[in-house]
Structure 1
Amino acid sequence: MKSIILTCCIGFFAFIAQAQTTPQKTVAAKVITKQVVDIACGECQFKMKGKDCELAVKIDGKPYFVDGKGIDDFGDAHGEHGFCNAVSKAEVTGEIVNNRFKAKEIKLLPVKK
């Protein structure tokens, strides 16, 4: 009986070890090229969970935090028309990787009156 339990335990731990060392599937990055999107503070305007005011873009209706550009890179985020107080439009190029937008280029578009 002890040998059966020992064999089962060894088999279980071998299975766990194999599961932890098996490479995970890599999710392909989605490339975005010169797409017009909403851009603003993820927390203040898109109601995303975060630790602080952070730049975000909304691509195809889904918000993503931005890596590669900061929220104050385009002016005071807390100013009258800053990203914490208003949603703007931008033309962006980059990739969506691990649920974040890796920005290569962000060009703010003029406000339509």
Structure 2
Amino acid sequence: MKKIATLLLFLTAFLINAQEKKSTQKIQLVEVSCGQCKFGMTPKGCDLAVRIGGKSYFVDGVKIDEHGDAHAKDGFCEAIRTAEVIGEIKKGRFVVSYFKLLPKKM
């Protein structure tokens, strides 16, 4: 019985810690566009990127064509847009857990 109680206590502490960590991640406003076409990144090929604090990172978790044709007049290869994001930089890439493209400015 003590083992079960200890296990439940450990599991509860783990879940509380995980919830606290999740709630500390804040929404950031970032520039988002094609890494190659608009941010001058390599390797070659159109891929979604964000610019945070003047530094650009390719994005994992959202694809460039999920928000329309990247080569359209207002697409990511033609324009730099703004998005709300939650994520973290891992191994030089931005791993997104929340992504909301904001409306274009008129």
Superposition pairs of residues 1-113 of structure 1, within 5 angstroms = 33-113=26-106
Distance across 1 between alignment mates of 2:25 and 2:70: 24
Q: CA, structure 1 residues 80+95, in 2 after alignment: closer, same or farther (shift >3 Å)?
A: same
- CA shift for structure 1 position 61: 1.0
Q: CA, structure 1 residues 52+104, in 2 after alignment: closer, same or farther (shift >3 Å)?
A: same
- CA shift for structure 1 position 33: 2.5
Q: Give the aligned residue type for 1:79.
A: A
Q: TM-score, normalised by structure 2?
A: 0.74
Task: Report if aligned partners of 1:32, 1:92 keep a CA contact under 8 Å in 2.
Answer: no
Distance across 2 between alignment mates of 1:65 and 1:76: 18
Q: Structure 1, unaligned stretches of length 5 or more?
A: 1-30
Q: CA, structure 1 residues 60+32, in 2 after alignment: closer, same or farther (shift >3 Å)?
A: farther
Q: Structure 2, unaligned stretches of length 5 or more?
A: 1-23
The alignment's C-alpha RMSD in Å is 1.4
Distance across 1 between alignment mates of 2:92 and 2:25: 13
- CA shift for structure 1 position 68: 0.8
Distance across 2 between alignment mates of 1:65 and 1:84: 14
- Structure 1 stretches of at least 4 aligned residues deviating more than 4 Å after TM superposition: none
- CA shift for structure 1 position 111: 1.6
**How many corresponding residue pairs?**
83
Is the radius of gyration larger for structure 1 or structure 2? 1
Instruction: Determine what percentage of the aligned residue pairs are the same residue.
Output: 52
Task: Report if aligned partners of 1:32, 1:96 keep a CA contact under 8 Å in 2.
Answer: no
